[in-house]
Structure 1
Amino acid sequence: MVAFPDVPYAKGLPKLVRTTSVSRAGKRFMAAIETVDPFWQIDVETAPLARELIPGMRAFIDECNSAIKTIVWTPSYLDVPQAYLADPGNVALADDGNLVSGTGGLTIAVNGVTNGLDLRRGDMISMIKDEYRSMHTVMTGAVASSNTVTLVIEPYVPTYITAGAVVKFKNLELNVRMGPDSGQMTDDYLPVASLTLVEVPK
């Protein structure tokens, strides 16, 4: 797996892509079926790159621009949960959690967390099991007690993420691949690189 470059980024928020088939009566929606599992897509753009950062970014694009190699996307610009924006070193974020239940579902139970951990709607979490990774948005948050927190998330937990997975609340991770030939870099003194990343299981 290839590490995600640690450079300044100007854009790169993940977008959840859904594929839905809709039946209609006239202009009215009658029924909808999700035909493909939802997945994350990230359109990334760097800030203008200082000269010393250019060779590494060029090598990263050359290595991954064929969609063959998996990248561990570690977005430092995706901040800590909302409750800790002013205190990113809060002790409540010191521990990762462990997934107790939730495979294939939207409601998960996580133990091994610090009491008082406060997760709110819109916060993001990631899960890791045997080098498989997934990422989720919190829909219904909670405050941890008895070292456990129960959350409602989107999208649902994939089948390759099972009980015992590590649940991260900061320093999130996701397996992705670069869209073929999507990696580009401008021909400027301080160039900007852009690329499209698409979630893969491993």
Structure 2
Amino acid sequence: MAAIETVDPLWQIIVESAPLARDLIPGMRAFIDECNSAIKTIIWAPTYLDVPQAYLADPGNAALANDGNLVSGTGGLTIVANSVTTGLDIRRGDLISLVKDDYRSMHTVMTGAVAASSSITLVVEPYVPSYITAGAVVKFKNLELNVRMEPNSGEMTDDYLPVATFNLQEVPK
């Protein structure tokens, strides 16, 4: 597979596991074997910021009960979502994901806001791709991103407690 440069910014994730206990080794080896060809799409969920910053101490907060509904995107960077809980606090650096059918994208909030009248307007990066259209689900927790393992990037050390490493690349579907 040749490297292709485009103007489209895509998520690239470098994954390194913790040392794997013996009972986890076969499953990880099978996962690497299955995905190492870059044909299988994986739904990846970040663990480092799985809820907005305002709710780190209270991930079950009622403000996170509703996913939003994408109403519009202006210039690909400003999104408007409705059907959110009034008072929802989304801050700069928070992550959101947009889901439309089998398409998924993830975005970092550049300019946050507090929802009013069940609506919120956010500035995000990277821009919202054209396959994410009005009616998409806006997720503030339980985020999702479609990725594939870069070809032949999956490896596992040959140790008593091996470590697995691989690179993931965002894909639309």
TM range (shorter): over 0.9
1:190 maps to 2:161: yes
Q: Does the CA contact (< 8 Å) of 1:44 and 1:197 recur in 2?
A: yes
Q: Residue type of the partner of 1:156?
A: Y
- Counterpart of 2:44, as a letter, is W
Deviations 1:64-106 (A, max 9, x none): 0011111111233433111011111111111111100006511
TM-score normalized with structure 2 length: 0.93
Residues 103, 159 of structure 1: 8 Å contact kept: no
State the match for 1:83 in structure 2.
Answer: 54
Matched, 1:199 2:170: yes
Q: What is the CA-CA distance between 1:171 and the residue it aligns to?
A: 1.1
The structure that is strand-richer by fraction is 1
Change (3 A) 1:186 1:118: same
Q: Answer with 1 or 2: which has the greater Rg.
A: 1
2:65 matched to which residue of 1? 94
Relative CO higher for 1 or 2, CA cutoff 8 Å, sep ≥ 6? 2
Ranges of 4+ aligned residues in structure 1 off by more than 3 Å: none
Shift of 1:116: 0.9
Gaps of 5+ in 2: none
Q: What SS is found at the alignment partner of 2:80?
A: strand
Aligned position for 1:170: 141
Q: Report if aligned partners of 2:109, 2:123 keep a CA contact under 8 Å in 1.
A: yes
On the 8 A contact 1:93/1:170 being kept in 2, the answer is: yes
**C-alpha root-mean-square deviation of aligned residues, in Å?**
1.3
- Structure 1: which 5+ runs fail to align? 1-18, 20-34
**Aligned equivalent of 1:138, options 109, 121, 128:** 109
* Paired AA for residue 67 in structure 1: A
SS of aligned partner of 1:37? coil
Q: What is the SS of the residue equivalent to 2:26?
A: helix
Identity %: 81
- Assess if the C-alpha contact under 8 Å between 1:179 and 1:198 holds in 2: yes
* 1:124 maps to 2:80: no
CA drift at 1:41: 0.2
